[in-house]
Amino acid sequence: MSDTDLSAYKRSAALTALDYVKDGMVLGLGTGSTAKEFIMALGTKVAAGMKLRGVSTSRETATLADRSGIVLLDDNDHWPIDVAVDGADQVDPSFNLIKGGGGALLKEKIVAVSAKQFIVLIDYTKRVPFLGKTFPLPIEVISFGWRNTARAIEALTRSRVVLREQAGAPFRTESGNLIVDTHMARIDNPRELDAALHHIPGIVETGLFIDCADVLIVGTPQGVETYHATRP
């Protein structure tokens, strides 16, 4: 499977997501390669006269949205987000997600839960029978005492915890925090794990997105598949 093929599947999922966008909407704009495809596709709608406003989850996304003609709301506004659209690093059969590979998980989660509808775009390789194993769980932590926080995460998960680095230095989120990637063989109960992790002082947010996704759009070699979450 080539990167070109995967890019095409992401693009097809992004184009399908345009069906959920209506004139005058406020959109939550995710971060990463699949979200980028969606934002660029939105640019064609804006160029054709559609009026859209957006909430950005990263500086990278803000720059791309500006180039695409999308007016961004201020970070400190109260956002009436109609639809948020983002990618995911893993999705299990219950629509639980791992996100944070790009390091924007905190802002992404704030935007996702603030939206009336959250749409997740992936290529088919991101669908997994269970979370973990092939992708570590990103956890955003404050820098103060981060080694103690990492040790507590290791004790809870019985897994290897690695500080994320970039260009030989600790990776910093846009909020100035660190990310530790937790390499777990299998996450059997994402909801329980997420709750337990939030009891550890120093953890800002986890990359587990539980009961967030309303629509899953998957680009596959056979075409685009769309699924809707069913909840009580």
- Reported as a single tens digit per residue, the pLDDT across 131-187 is 999 999 999 999 999 999 999 999 999 999 999 999 999 999 999 999 999 999 999
Residue 186 · residue 133 · CB < 8 Å: yes
Q: Which of 108, 154, 174, 192 is catalytic?
A: 108
CA–CA gap between residue 34 and residue 30 (Å, rounded) = 9
CATH number at 3-128+210-221: 3.40.50.1360
Tokens 């800002």, located at residue: 204
- The pTM assigned to this predicted structure is 0.95
- The answer to whether residue 1 scores a pLDDT higher than 60 is no
Question: Is 51 annotated for ligand binding?
Answer: no
* Catalytic residue list contains 108: yes
CA–CA gap between residue 100 and residue 109 (Å, rounded) = 10
Question: Is 4 annotated for ligand binding?
Answer: no
Q: How many CB atoms lie within 10 A of CB 181?
A: 19
Question: Is 75 annotated for ligand binding?
Answer: no
When pLDDT is cut at 50, 70 and 90, the band that residue 4 belongs to is: confident
Class assignment of domain 137-206?
Answer: alpha beta
Encode 189-223 in three state secondary structure. CHHHHHHHHCCCCCEEEECEECCCCCEEEEEECCE
When pLDDT is cut at 50, 70 and 90, the band that residue 34 belongs to is: very high
Question: Is 86 annotated for ligand binding?
Answer: yes
Domain boundaries, the chain: 3-128+210-221, 137-206
Single out the residue of 33, 23, 114 nearest to residue 75, CA to CA: 114
User: Treating both helix axes as pointing N-terminal to C-terminal, what angle do 33-47 and 59-67 enclose, rounded to 10 degrees?
Assistant: 30
What is the distance of C-alpha 81 from the center of its chain? 16
| C-alpha distances out from residue 54 to 23, 46, 227, Å | 12, 12, 24
